[in-house]
Structure 1
């Protein structure tokens, strides 16, 4: 009984270490199925650092005959998986027919080490 109580107490204390939930940041690209169905493909976003800014970018490719309007949002995380503030609002980009376009986000928080790109129509 005592071991169980100690384990429960440690688990409760671990959960109180931050006011923000930790997120598994190993998945850096999230695409709704409708985006793929619309003919949009992409790779995981790349992360670079320059002049005190972290920059994330990704290239969206359109495999279809018509332009596609894509909505996207970048989410920034630190080494512990905590989401960083301030959050950017969702953005919109038109990917030309049989073309490509780059989506970009920048953050001045140097603790940012991971990013997630979320794409939807």
Structure 2
């Protein structure tokens, strides 16, 4: 009975690996390192819209501090199945002035893109 109890957690863990679900949780559309929040930057999840026949994701970064903050960011695009769409975007940098806001955006010509994730870091 003891080998069965020891093997059961392993079996349950392995059964989770053989799923048809994507390994990336694409429902999380905003990933922000804690240092970004500590630096006084706040934002909302990116909104997706269509512009000029392309998918566009955008959000506004707000700086609550007395000094400008340099923020690095990257948008990741996914299709309905959760697969990342290529070509991958390169990371970008923006300076958010003190007590100001800046819009950041990404535009993609692949209309199969249905989800986006924004990653913010310093």
User: Which TM-score tier does this pair reach, normalised by the shorter chain?
Assistant: 0.7 to 0.9
**Post-superposition offset of 1:23:** 1.8
The residue that corresponds to 1:104 in the other structure is 105
- Name stretches of at least 5 consecutive residues in structure 1 with no aligned partner: 1-7, 16-20
**Post-superposition offset of 1:50:** 2.2
TM-score, normalised to structure 1's length?
0.82
Contact 1:55 1:106 in 2 (8 A): yes
Alpha-carbon deviations, 1:12-62, whole Å to 9, x = none? Answer: 9x69xxxxx642101000000000000000000000012220000010000
Q: How many equivalent pairs are there? A: 106
Distance 2:81 2:92 in 1: 26
The residue that corresponds to 2:34 in the other structure is 33
Distance 2:96 2:51 in 1: 27
Distance 2:23 2:91 in 1: 21
The residue that corresponds to 1:79 in the other structure is 80
- Name stretches of at least 5 consecutive residues in structure 2 with no aligned partner: 1-14
Distance 2:89 2:61 in 1: 19
The residue that corresponds to 1:65 in the other structure is 66
The residue that corresponds to 2:6 in the other structure is none
**Post-superposition offset of 1:76:** 0.1
Contact 1:77 1:115 in 2 (8 A): yes
**Runs ≥4 in structure 1, deviation > 3 angstroms?**
none
Structure 2 counterpart SS, 1:104: strand
Q: CA RMSD in A?
A: 1.7
Contact 1:22 1:82 in 2 (8 A): no
Indicate whether 1:52 and 2:53 are aligned.
Answer: yes
